[in-house]
Amino acid sequence: MMKHKYHPELATGTVAVAGTIGALIPPSIILIIYGVIAQISISQLFLGGIIAGLMTAAGYIIVVLIRVWLNPALAPERDQSVTMREKIIALRSTWPILVIMVGIFGGLFGGVFTPTEAGATGAFMACLVAIFMGEMTLDRFLQAARETLMTTAALLIIAIGASLLTRFLALSGAGDFLSSGILGIASDPVLLMLGIVLVYLLMGMFLEPIGAMLLTLPIILPVVDASGWSLLWFGIVLTKLLEIGMITPPIGMNVFVIKSVVGDLVKTTAIFRGVFWFIVMDLILVAILCAYPALVLTLPEMLR
């Protein structure tokens, strides 16, 4: 994008926020873990995440269009010399992603395998595609396996700790005490939801998404359940909030990933400036999802 004269802030900001949509679009690791902890259907969560993910993508497109309309210098002029045929030919390189997506979604919603098995199926299909394209080597396979083991081990340790915390809270009665105390302080559902949103936005500034979720769900879920809110709807809103934490300063994970790619070409502060307007759109989307839960719940109810 920068080679084609896009402004560095727009280019880096767009790529940084685009990476967060994966938390909502199936198959999402965050949604799978939430479904296991909350004891609700992961397939239903995936269906609820589709609408929220599409809304997020549309919101980001709107941000880009508005910013370029207000400041045309952010993007180059449209290249009229590129034909539709050339654009279609350029899409051929995306076939591996489409094959894997169709395979996972088709098997998942067709009842061929469970969400857990869908992850293994996706990894196997990715290996087959890499072998077919001649990109798979022993060193790359071993590197992917090592990174997977390290990530899985870290998540297991956090999950075990969260599970123990949940059990201790249940045995001691502290969970019910905390939830009733929170409900007593914020009897207004709007204030309660606002408080939850602020907690996760603050935690997202310093903790990685899955860790923040596992540490707080033992306390938050009883509050949500006691408030009569849908756990499915709350799971999508929670995922959206965790998604925002991936791009908020001072520790926006996606921002620093982009920084590691661009190096000294773009300053970290410039990338954060680039994601600012997308964060504003994310907050608007969170407000819309909170005000209209049917946006999340309609599709899962239709396909139940």
Task: Render pLDDT for 243-268 as a digit per residue (tens, 0 to 9).
Answer: 898 888 887 788 888 888 888 888 88
Query: Is the pLDDT assigned to residue 147 strictly greater than 90?
Result: no
Where is mean pLDDT largest: 45-59, 97-111, 217-231?
A: 45-59
Q: Helix, strand or coil for residue 7?
A: coil
On the 0-12 / 13-18 / 19+ scale of CB atoms within 10 A, 275 is buried
- On average, the pLDDT of the chain sits at 84
User: Residue 6 region, left (φ>0) first, then alpha (ψ -120 to 50), else beta?
Assistant: beta
The residues, any chain, with a CB within 8 Å of residue 298's CB and separated by 6 or more, are 51
Question: Quick check: 162 and 217 in contact, CB under 8 A?
Answer: yes
- Over residues 198-227, mean pLDDT: 81
Question: What pLDDT score was predicted for residue 110?
Answer: 78
- Over residues 55-74, mean pLDDT: 93
Question: What pLDDT score was predicted for residue 173?
Answer: 67
Question: What pLDDT score was predicted for residue 174?
Answer: 60
Question: What pLDDT score was predicted for residue 253?
Answer: 80
Question: What pLDDT score was predicted for residue 227?
Answer: 81
Q: What is the pLDDT of residues 23-63, one digit of tens each?
A: 888 777 888 888 888 888 888 888 888 889 999 999 999 99
Measured at the CA of 241, the angle between CA 119 and CA 30, to 5 degrees, comes to: 15
Q: Where are the alpha helices (DSSP H) in 39-134?
A: 42-70, 84-90, 95-109, 115-132
Question: What pLDDT score was predicted for residue 299?
Answer: 87
In the chain, where the domains are located: 8-82+154-302
| Residue 250 preceded by cis peptide, ω within 30 | yes
- Over residues 81-102, mean pLDDT: 81
Cα separation, 38 vs 224, whole angstroms: 11
The Cβ of residue 263 has, within 10 Å, a number of other Cβ atoms equal to 7
Query: Is the pLDDT assigned to residue 130 strictly greater than 80?
Result: yes
